[in-house]
Amino acid sequence: MEFEGTETVPVERSAAWDLITDPAVLTTCVMGAEEIARVSEDRYEGAIRQRITGIDVALDGEVRIEERDRPEWLRFTGVGTDSRTGSRMDADVTVTLTDEGAATELAYDVDVTFTGRLATMGSRVLRRQVRANVETYFENLVDRVEARA
């Protein structure tokens, strides 16, 4: 399932780049993220635990920056596995950063695939849930920057 959208953060592009690649920022902006650590220049490891009313999801996984053109563009992939439900999530994300005066527009393109038991929940449930996650991440990012401005 694919999602795209844009969000504007009120900082210059190089600062926006640092924000979206900072593991501490990821941990506070991704819903339910725990202890995301940067294990190398291009690789992050961590866990996401979310409790929605129906199910608990606990994804352990890693994020890898596949391609980058600092500070304009990056593409990263994420893999998460939930051992309890025997499920796997694969994400492929592209973020393009564009100058907008003193602010930066982040345009994102997200492609997420589920396999295993989680996939049996169907697009009705998963699409809304994943979209809520993507939107909340970018909203949290903006809130965080604005709170510090």
Partner 1 sequence: MTDGTADATGRSEADYYRPETVEAACRRLRDADGRVRIVAGGQTLLPLVRQGLVDADAFVDVSAVPGLSGVTVEDGRATVGATTTYAELADHGLADRVAALGEACAVVADRQVRTLGTVGGAVAHGDPTFDLLAPLRALDADVGLAGPDGRRRVPLSEFLIGHLRTDRHEGELVTDVTFDRPDPERSGSAYERHAAAGSGRATAGVAAVVTLVDGAVETARVACSAVADTPVRAHAVEGDLTGEAASAEAVAAASERAPADIDPIDDEAGSPAYKRRLVATLTERSLLSAIGRAGGSP
Q: Minimum CB separation from partner 1 for residue 55, in Å? A: 5
Residue 128 found at the interface with partner 1 (CB under 8 A): yes
Check residue 68 for interaction with partner 1 (CB under 8 A). no
For partner 1, the binding residue among 39, 123, 139, 146 (CB under 8 A) is: 123
Nearer to partner 1, 14 or 120 (CB): 120
| Residue from 4, 18, 34, 56 binding partner 1 (CB under 8 A) | 56
Ranges within 77-96 binding partner 1 (CB under 8 A): 83-86
For residue 43, state whether it binds partner 1 (rule: CB under 8 A). Answer: no
d(CA 4, CA 88) in angstroms, rounded, equals: 22
Q: What residues pair up with 68 in beta bridges, in sequence order?
A: 74
Which residues touch 68 (CB under 8 Å, ≥6 apart)?
A: 74, 75
**Locus of tokens 């527009």:** 105
**Torsion of Cα atoms, 142 then 143 then 145 then 146, to 10°:** 110
